[in-house]
């Protein structure tokens, strides 16, 4: 397994599905960022975290291929019903910049035990639906230690929004 490109944790080369960029329907409203968001939905991010890529080496080649096909089917199924807006794996290498020390550290993490392997950007009715989709992650069936973090996407920075709110109430 010489290639090190992972499909949100799956040790196999990534090929973007044909449905990566879904076509939005006419029933949309503009969001604060200016992108079209279907009415009655909200954006949520599924963040896929792996302990290490070596965990996949315990799977046979057939199991890895099957898992890869399950990931594609899951993504393409979500795209077909308009639930996923985007999704990509992340390369295992990168840099972390910390402003306080001004240092640059190799790797996408400093001291974390988990690495973010990829993400899906969902467009769903709410947190409950996003969690139900996350529970369908194909890697869970294999007990590989993958975790999926479900986070709502904010229209603006929550810290700055809170500061602005405090400033507005003080005046």
Q: Per residue in 15-67, pLDDT tens?
A: 333 333 322 222 333 333 345 556 789 999 999 998 677 788 889 999 999 99
| CATH T-level assignment (fold) for domain 6-170 | Alpha-Beta Plaits (3.30.70)
Taking CA 39 as the corner, what is the angle to CA 37 and CA 43, rounded to the nearest 5 degrees?
Answer: 45
Q: Per residue in 70-124, pLDDT tens?
A: 999 999 999 999 999 999 988 877 877 777 766 776 665 545 567 888 999 999 9
pTM score, whole prediction: 0.70
Sketch the domain layout of the chain as residue ranges: 6-170
Alpha carbon separation from 43 to 2, 151, 158 (Å, rounded): 36, 9, 15
**DSSP H or E run through 103:** none
């Amino acid at each position: 397994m010489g290639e090190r490109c992972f499909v949100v944790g799956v040790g196999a080369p990534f090929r973007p599905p044909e449905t990566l960029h879904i076509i939005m329907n006419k029933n949309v409203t503009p969001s604060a960022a200016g992108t079209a968001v279907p009415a009655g939905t909200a954006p949520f991010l599924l963040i896929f975290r792996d302990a290490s890529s070596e965990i996949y080496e315990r799977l046979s080649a057939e199991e890895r291929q099957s898992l890869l096909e399950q990931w594609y089917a899951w993504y393409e199924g979500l795209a077909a019903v308009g639930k996923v807006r985007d999704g990509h794996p992340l390369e295992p290498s990168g840099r972390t910049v910390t402003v306080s020390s001004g240092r640059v550290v190799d790797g996408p993490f400093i001291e974390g035990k988990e690495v973010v392997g990829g993400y899906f950007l969902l467009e769903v009715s709410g947190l409950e639906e996003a969690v139900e989709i996350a529970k369908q992650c194909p890697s869970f069936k294999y007990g590989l230690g993958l975790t999926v973090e479900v986070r709502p996407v904010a229209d603006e920075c929550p810290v700055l929004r809170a500061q602005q709110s405090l400033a507005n109430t003080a005046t």
